[in-house]
Structure 1
Amino acid sequence: MQNERIRSDNLLNSVNGKVYNKTIVFVLLMANFTLAVDFSVLNVALPTIGKDVGFSLEHLQWIATVYSLCAAGFTLFFGRIADLFGRKRLFLIGITLLGLSSLAGGLAEEPVLLLIARASQGLATAIVTPAALSLMTTSFPEGPQRDRVLGWNGALMAAGFTTGAILGGILTSVLSWRWAFFINVFVAIAVILIAPFVLKESKLNYRPKVDFLGAITVTAGLLAIVYGFTTAGTTSWSDRSAWGSLIIGAVLLLMFWFTEKYTPQPLVPISILKQGNIVWGNFTGLLAFITETSLVFLLTLYLQDVLGYTPLSAGLSLTALGVGTIIGGVIGPRIINLIGAKHAIIVAFVVQAAATFPLVFLNVGSGWLILLLVVTFIGGVANLAAIVGFMVTATSGLPDHEQGLATGLATMSQQIGITMGIPIMSAIATARMNILGHQTKMTILSGISLAIVINTALCILTALLIALFLRSKSQDN
């Protein structure tokens, strides 16, 4: 009788534990999906927002730029702060900021208020994303279960980028662009009501000194780097302010390295930055996001400027890519289970390259759309498998008290990759167009084709570098 009661209690605890973990995962995934949607939801609506709020055409890009600056520039700092002072606390602060800034953005009637709201949304992303990811990684031990959760997260975040483009077009056409902000308010309220009861706090038993010099140099350096890339993308690579920002950013990051090397309690221990899985894992993430986000930009350019599609039609045409990313996020952990993260990354980039290269042959005829749908679906599956491999690699081998730092580095790689990809490929395509002369459908197509060739080459180069330099677990043992 006693044994039966013990077995019954164990079974009940097991069931309750599974339900509890599922609730945690649901809350964290919902938050990260919302932040991914935020990145792209306003892109289609920018011209309408400019007319309603009073932005001049040359200043319109700042609606996207201030978001990217804050999301990429502050993520490493807040990832480490989450380790030191509590991930649950930071997560709830970030979600609250997301709700308030979204409400302000939806109600904005002048440019300054809208830019402040977008900057606050970017700051909320920098707070929430590493906190949410570290809460995930510390809720599950290294292995298949954690890999599966990271796969779901990657799939939903990638789907969020695609969904954002489609949702932005629908909301702008049917309701108002303001609902792109207001939806976040309802999500934030739901998360705030549930999260305090399901998330556990995790922080150090002592209160360490904060490395303010390290925090200032790394944040300022990242802000300068992101600003340089976004300026180059919106003006040109001949812009002196773009190169000036990149040089200043590089100097500040070099100062950060020496600061961390000689500080007793560094923001980012140098020993972590020397670990192969951290370095090459984040390199993988950087290139995965550079190649895929820039490809989406190039294909959007093709669909609108060559085939003459509307923004909404162009967004809907990329749905196959979004479906592919969801499937890639689901099967990615299974592939990692079978062949390991290193080999999964290599295979994923090779398949992504094979799926990207046929896009070089796109032409002015709409009959090529079927090719586009098929290969972007395959490329989406492969890209998400690489992203899951990146997250597993970049967060493994570290204790729980450093998971905020690991996920902060991973989020930083993601945000910088998203920010860098478009200006790099835009510059390549534009340079080709300028060489050919006047902008016509054929010169635009030629520029896009060259950029796609470079995109394919980056995938192959990444696969080669990972094969040569990333050590697998079996090699480490």
Structure 2
Amino acid sequence: MTVLAARAESDRMTGRQRLVLTLLLGSQFMLAVDFSILNVALPVIGQGLGFALADLQWVATAFALAAAGFTLLFGRIADLWGRRRLFLVGMALLGLSSLVGGLATSPGVLLGARVAQGLATAVVTPAGLSLLTTSFAEGPLRARALGLNGALMSAGFTSGAILGGLLTQVLSWRWAFLINVPVALAVLVAAPMLLKESRPAERPRIDLPGAATVTAGLLALVFGLTRVGEHPVQGGVALVAGAALLVVFWFVERRSAAPLVPVAIMARPNVKWGNLAGLLAFATETSLVFVLTLYLQEVLGYSALATGLAFGVLGLGTVAGGVAGPRVLAALGTGRALAAGFAVQAVATASLALLGASAGWIWLLLAATFVGGVGNMVAIVAFMVTATSGLPDSEQGLATGLATMTQQVGITMGIPIMSAIATAAMGSVLQGVIVAVLANAALAFAGMLRPRSAIPN
């Protein structure tokens, strides 16, 4: 009885842990909202600042390049120089860049602000996640914290579209930037009182060759993914260059005395296969939102705001999946929970192939996206637990940096791939949507497959 009581006590959060969790989850939610909040507002921004139509994509691409390209580097820097310190620096940069973006009067200033916001995301996300994992011991508490984090991040991606539409329609697109400023200030005031600093007693030298090759490789890879659809040659060259640089990075790390990412960690089955599962989880669900946006606006004739509100049901599904995820993991084990989440997502996504051109099909879309959101979030919780398990606290920044990089690359690569599939199959918009939906479901199904020993059940 005493053992059971002690175990139950260890599974409860202290008051301080709840405050830490609230602070970190709030900051991660804000970053997720920031990723998608401008999508709905892009046409209005273009008219207000004089962007050429072809250049509007750079508002999103500039952010994605910085966020994905530098996240692994800053995740490791957080391990070496202090996670709380990097977290505070990143939040300050986010607040400042959001203020500049909200006051921008030219395309160049706005794009510079988006690059700075992407860099802030690359700093804050891995630092915040590593602070989260080191604040909760490996086990039920960490799984619960990561589940809530994943739920709020996915809800943030969806909420960003809704919030962006509301702010743009009611106030101005500038508030899609300015809304970050008071939130960042509140976090900067509260964080020093709640978060404890963590860093090693001895600081090894930073692996400059490794940092240069992996950052350049990721930048080229993300740039190629965003350009290959419209500019196949330019995008293809960038993809090849990115892949080559990442191969060079692997060999640099094998020979480095103080590697940025120790090869032994990247070779761990749970890290390797966990991140592959995460790549599929983020690539499929975020690109499905893009595909269904085409369906809602081009086939059913929904407005941008109505489209954003329709995706609120998906947001509810991801929140439900994040809350249920830790319980599913406890009941099934990590490996089976991962497979179950992808299975639910794949079946729900495949059912969307039945969509037709009449307004009544919206009910199938709402039901399927809710169920698929639950499954996707269970898979994401299992991915985060898998990718950060079995590693000491001194390497949690690295592990969460890898996981964050996986997340950002998955989000970036999914939309161009699904866009290319939909366009290639587009005898009509509905036909292209259905083919892309089936391809998306196939990728979700592929997420179920793994070597039996890679992720323990």
Task: In structure 1, give the amino acid aligned to 2:450.
Answer: I
Cα offset, 1:327, TM superposition: 0.3
> Deviations for 1:35-86, whole angstroms, at most 9, x for unmatched residues?
0000000000000001111111010100000000000000000000100110
1 CA distance for matches of 2:401 and 2:249? 16
RMSD: 1.6
Cα offset, 1:319, TM superposition: 1.2
2 CA distance for matches of 1:145 and 1:468? 26
Give yes or no for the alignment of 1:35 onto 2:19: no
Match of 2:326 in 1: 333
Specify every segment of 5 or more residues in structure 1 that has no aligned partner in the other structure, as ranges: 1-12, 437-442
Cα offset, 1:470, TM superposition: 2.2
2 CA distance for matches of 1:467 and 1:257? 23
Task: In structure 1, give the amino acid aligned to 2:300.
Answer: L
Q: Does structure 2 retain, via aligned residues, the 8 Å contact 1:342–1:466?
A: no
Match of 2:45 in 1: 49
Give yes or no for the alignment of 1:423 onto 2:419: no
Cα offset, 1:17, TM superposition: 7.7
Among candidates 221, 224, 229, match of residue 228 of structure 1? 224
1 CA distance for matches of 2:321 and 2:450? 19
> Deviations for 1:401-457, whole angstroms, at most 9, x for unmatched residues?
000000000000000000000000000010112xx3xxxxxx111111111111111
Match of 1:447 in 2: 432
Task: In structure 2, give the amino acid aligned to 1:411.
Answer: T
Match of 1:370 in 2: 363
Match of 1:210 in 2: 206
Give yes or no for the alignment of 1:135 onto 2:134: no
Paired residues, what number?
A: 450
Cα offset, 1:103, TM superposition: 0.2
Change (3 A) 1:467 1:260: closer
Match of 2:343 in 1: 350
Cα offset, 1:467, TM superposition: 5.7
Task: In structure 2, give the amino acid aligned to 1:471.
Answer: I
Superposed counterparts of 1:108-127, under 5 Å: 108-127=104-123
1 CA distance for matches of 2:201 and 2:455? 34
Match of 1:65 in 2: 61
Cα offset, 1:469, TM superposition: 5.2
Cα offset, 1:21, TM superposition: 0.8
Match of 1:163 in 2: 159
SS at match of 2:90: helix
Match of 1:391 in 2: 384
Q: Which structure has the greater CA radius of gyration?
A: 1
1 CA distance for matches of 2:15 and 2:97? 32
2 CA distance for matches of 1:36 and 1:414? 11
Task: In structure 1, give the amino acid aligned to 2:431.
Answer: S
Among candidates 89, 92, 95, match of residue 88 of structure 2? 92
SS at match of 2:369: helix
SS at match of 1:466: coil
SS at match of 1:200: coil
Among candidates 308, 314, 317, match of residue 324 of structure 1? 317
SS at match of 1:187: helix
SS at match of 2:302: coil
> Deviations for 1:267-297, whole angstroms, at most 9, x for unmatched residues?
0000001100000110111000111011111
TM-score (norm 2): 0.97
> Deviations for 1:337-382, whole angstroms, at most 9, x for unmatched residues?
1111110000111111110111101111011001111111000000
SS at match of 1:386: helix
SS at match of 1:299: helix
Q: Does structure 2 retain, via aligned residues, the 8 Å contact 1:134–1:407?
A: yes
Q: Does structure 2 retain, via aligned residues, the 8 Å contact 1:209–1:265?
A: yes
> Deviations for 1:13-39, whole angstroms, at most 9, x for unmatched residues?
99x981111111111111100000000
Among candidates 251, 261, 275, match of residue 254 of structure 2? 261
Cα offset, 1:177, TM superposition: 0.7
Give yes or no for the alignment of 1:200 onto 2:196: yes
Q: Percent identity?
A: 59
Give yes or no for the alignment of 1:472 onto 2:447: no
Among candidates 414, 430, 442, match of residue 407 of structure 2? 414
Specify every segment of 5 or more residues in structure 2 that has no aligned partner in the other structure, as ranges: 1-8
TM-score (norm 1): 0.93
Q: Does structure 2 retain, via aligned residues, the 8 Å contact 1:168–1:180?
A: yes
2 CA distance for matches of 1:452 and 1:469? 31
Match of 1:309 in 2: 302
2 CA distance for matches of 1:319 and 1:206? 47
Among candidates 277, 280, 300, match of residue 284 of structure 1? 277
Give yes or no for the alignment of 1:173 onto 2:158: no
Match of 2:5 in 1: none
Q: Does structure 1 retain, via aligned residues, the 8 Å contact 2:386–2:455?
A: no
1 CA distance for matches of 2:315 and 2:259? 40
Cα offset, 1:466, TM superposition: 2.6
Q: Does structure 1 retain, via aligned residues, the 8 Å contact 2:40–2:304?
A: yes
Among candidates 373, 376, 394, match of residue 401 of structure 1? 394
Q: Does structure 2 retain, via aligned residues, the 8 Å contact 1:346–1:466?
A: no
